[in-house]
């Protein structure tokens, strides 16, 4: 009888966080427990890397069914705060932000988001502190498959010969080139000989190699999408390549404007245009192919085509027109930008020049990470990771769309069917660079749409959702909404 009294809901409690189940509302125990755990992670009582009690242990302490604790843990897992690691327990991997009311405002430099950004602006923004980072293009870094990576690395090291630690082929490790060729065939419909694959340090290096290879052929002007990636434009400009803008509308790149421009090459993101999210439609695709067959060169940045949710896959242009399309991709959005591993396919007439530029740049990428990545690709681990990310991204995408509707009621959302970000255009009379600066002063990092435009556009924000739990997305949108309200009064 004494034991039954100790385990009754009115008396049960846990030394862990001094949890008292009597404080939970009737029928809302899982919600209450998830909220208490979330608050403890946010304020540091449970640090990132800390372990939660086993579900059976905490359920026994609180005098509740194990299902209550399992449900609370599951909610934190869906928000990205914790991950279950089997016998390793449930580990905290990301802290939610504190509530808006408890945040102290910090002044941000007036030039944090200048109207005309310099070439070092991304370095400055990347290092600027923020409690909620909604920078576009960042994957869920907390979801990096560490266990799979370690298993693959052990497998590679076990079989690696001593000679394999020497200088490698500047085109890339043969094992990775085979794996990339197979991946592109399965996932993007591109049939390519592994000998044609050139491994690069991400898409950024691929653009630099192309700029060097194309200059001797007289190509010093490459049209870009408008709006289009500021980073891509700056990188090409740094290699002394002019980047005239070609407008993008709801059907994708305006090929009629491209033809009229007389530019010999174009850089575009046809599967998921950055930042608008539109897909190059069938008619525009046919017109672009006709332009390329007449002598134009297409540079296809397939930066996040694997991340699609509400639409069928879009075939890569390279699959249709291999001798007029340079194709670039990477694992930056699949695994992590820090790996600095990408690939480049180029028409045969440019391949030797690109390989020479790669050799001169660095003698080739580090071989060990290439071999580990090849192992992940060939064993199916990378595809499992992609399936996991898609499920998580849909939840976060939906949370951001709903939060925008609540806190930015006059905004229009673009590009929700795929990718890692949303574009939000605003009907307010506000400079989006001022809005981004004010948001950063309150701890929320975003990118203004105007940065990615060479011509005047309506104000907007480019918002990444993939790297943030639902609670951070909600809090971030609330802060942006309050900043916008104050700025338009």
- Per-residue pLDDT, averaged over 362-366, amounts to 95
Q: Looking at 220-273, which runs of residues are DSSP E strands?
A: 222-226, 245-249, 252-253, 265-268
Strand order in the sheet with 51-52: 51-52, 90-92, 82-84
pTM score over 0.95: no
Residue 265 pLDDT greater than 60, yes or no: yes
Determine the pLDDT at residue 86: 79
Q: How remote is the C-alpha of 435 from its chain's centroid?
A: 22
- Per-residue pLDDT, averaged over 328-342, amounts to 95
Residue with structure tokens 């995408």?
397
Mind listing the pLDDT tens digit for each residue in 51-65?
A: 999 999 999 989 999
Give the lowest-confidence range in 70-84, 203-217, 353-367: 70-84
Domains in the chain, CATH or no CATH each: 2-92 (1.10.10.10), 100-143+384-487 (3.90.1150.10), 161-379 (3.40.640.10)
Tell me the pLDDT band of 216, cut-offs 50, 70 and 90.
very high
Mind listing the pLDDT tens digit for each residue in 400-449?
A: 999 999 999 989 999 999 899 999 999 888 999 999 999 999 999 999 99
Tell me the pLDDT band of 102, cut-offs 50, 70 and 90.
very low
Determine the pLDDT at residue 170: 96
Determine the pLDDT at residue 12: 56
- Per-residue pLDDT, averaged over 317-323, amounts to 94
Residue 355 pLDDT greater than 80, yes or no: yes
Query: Rounded mean pLDDT of the chain?
Result: 90
Tell me the pLDDT band of 185, cut-offs 50, 70 and 90.
very high
Residues in the chain: 489
Query: Residue 193: exposed, middle, or buried by beta-carbon count in 10 A (0-12, 13-18, 19+)?
Result: exposed
Report the number of secondary-structure helices (H) and strands (E) in the chain: 17, 19
Residue 108 pLDDT greater than 60, yes or no: no
How many percent of the chain have pLDDT more than 70? 94
């Amino acid at each position: 009888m004494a034991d039954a009294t100790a385990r009754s809901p009115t008396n049960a409690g846990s030394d862990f966080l001094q949890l008292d189940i009597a404080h939970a509302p009737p029928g809302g125990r899982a919600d209450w427990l998830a909220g208490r755990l979330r608050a403890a992670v946010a304020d540091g009582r449970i640090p990132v890397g800390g372990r939660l009690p086993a579900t059976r242990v905490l359920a026994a302490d609180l005098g509740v069914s194990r299902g209550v604790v399992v449900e609370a843990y599951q909610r934190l897992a869906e928000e990205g705060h914790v991950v279950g690691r089997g016998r390793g327990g449930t580990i905290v991997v990301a802290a939610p932000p504190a509530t808006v009311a408890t945040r102290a405002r910090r002044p941000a430099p007036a030039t944090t988001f200048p109207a005309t950004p310099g070439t070092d602006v991304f370095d400055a923004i990347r290092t600027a502190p923020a409690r909620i980072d909604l920078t576009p293009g960042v994957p869920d870094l907390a979801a990096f498959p560490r266990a799979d990576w370690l298993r693959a690395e052990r497998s590679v090291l076990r079989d690696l010969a001593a000679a394999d630690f020497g200088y490698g082929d500047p085109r890339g490790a043969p094992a990775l080139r085979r794996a990339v060729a197979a991946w592109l065939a399965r996932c993007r419909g591109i049939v390519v000989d592994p000998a044609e694959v050139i491994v690069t340090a991400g898409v950024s290096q691929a653009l630099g190699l192309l700029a060097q290879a194309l200059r001797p052929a007289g190509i010093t002007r490459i049209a870009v999408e408008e709006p289009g990636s500021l980073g891509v434009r700056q990188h090409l400009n740094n290699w002394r390549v002019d980047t005239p803008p070609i407008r993008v509308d709801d059907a994708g790149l305006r090929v009629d404007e491209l033809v009229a421009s007389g530019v010999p090459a174009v850089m575009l993101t046809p599967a998921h245009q950055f930042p608008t999210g539109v897909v190059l439609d069938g008619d525009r695709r046919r017109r672009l192919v006709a332009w390329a067959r007449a002598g134009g060169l297409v540079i296809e940045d397939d930066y996040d085509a694997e991340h699609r949710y509400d639409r069928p896959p879009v075939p890569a242009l390279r699959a249709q027109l291999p001798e007029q399309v340079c194709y670039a991709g990477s694992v930056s959005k699949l695994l992590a930008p820090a790996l600095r591993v990408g690939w480049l396919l180029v028409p045969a007439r440019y391949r030797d020049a690109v390989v020479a530029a790669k050799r001169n740049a660095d003698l080739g990428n580090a071989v060990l990470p290439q071999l580990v990545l090849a192992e992940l690709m060939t064993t199916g681990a990378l595809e499992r990771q992609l399936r996991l990310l898609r499920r998580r991204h849909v939840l976060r995408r939906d949370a951001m769309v709903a939060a925008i509707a609540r806190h930015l009621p006059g905004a229009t959302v673009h590009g929700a069917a795929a990718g890692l970000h949303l574009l939000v255009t605003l009907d307010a009379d506000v400079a989006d660079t001022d809005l981004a600066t004010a948001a950063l002063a309150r701890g929320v990092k975003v990118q203004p749409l105007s940065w990615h435009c060479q011509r005047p556009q309506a104000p907007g924000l480019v918002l990444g959702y993939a790297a943030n739990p639902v609670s951070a997305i909600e809090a971030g949108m609330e802060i942006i909404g309050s900043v916008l309200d104050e700025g338009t009064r």
